[in-house]
A = this chain, B = another copy of it.
Amino acid sequence: MPRPRTPLLSTERIAEAAMELVDEGEPFGVNAIARRLGVTPSSLYNHVAGRDEIVELMRGRLGEQYLPPAIEGTWDVVVEEMLRAERRMYAEHPFLIPLIVGKTITDPTVIASYDLLATALSGAGFPDDDVLEIVAILDAFSIGFGLDLASPDEIWRPETPTTTLGRLVESSPRGAPRSDRAFEAGLEMLLDGLRLRLARTELD
């Protein structure tokens, strides 16, 4: 069945199938996507350059869904809203995180949201030299807590005796609730820290 009159594939259909795979926690790959679409792996190469481009397609797709194109309010509201949006995104699609980690970001929607953040920080009075550094901090924060969500329920498996860790691992909440509490506490620290930093900057 070569060259159907109406195309079987498109970047959208490929991205959609890829996201389904990722959300179900299935192993992600070109072959698996092709299987899900009832098509041969080589067919995909008529629409995308390869595996990496499919990952970037997913990043963009989620960016459109979750990241606000504009935010009203002071710089700290922008930071908070953006981090909460990323948090929701990662919480609802945790398995995407290991795939996008360490890949150059090119998707326009996602670039635009980093730009929004950088513009807000710059406008608030953070020196140019500090802005990208702060964006890096925010990113580390976001990715770090995102990975916390993607982690196995059992992060530590002590096989030797411990004085504190073992006891806590037994008794403490696991999974999403613990991670959410940690995120909230971390977010508060981060915002306080940034406000303090801006106040110090303004003293100069």
Chain A interface residues toward B at CB < 8 A: 98, 101-106, 108, 111-112, 114-115, 118-119, 122, 128-129, 131-134, 136-137, 139-145, 147-148, 150-152, 154-160, 162-166, 168-169, 171-172, 178-179, 181-182, 185-186, 188-190, 192-194, 196-197
Rounded to whole Å, the gap between the CB of A199 and the closest CB of chain B is 13
Alpha-carbon gap, A166 to B143, bound state (A): 22
Main secondary structure of the interface of A (DSSP, over half): helix
Whether A129 lies near B186 (C-beta < 8 A) is no
**Are A102 and B151 within 8 A (Cβ)?**
yes
Q: State in angstroms the CA–CA spacing of A189 and B197 once bound together.
A: 9
A127 to chain B, nearest CB (A): 11
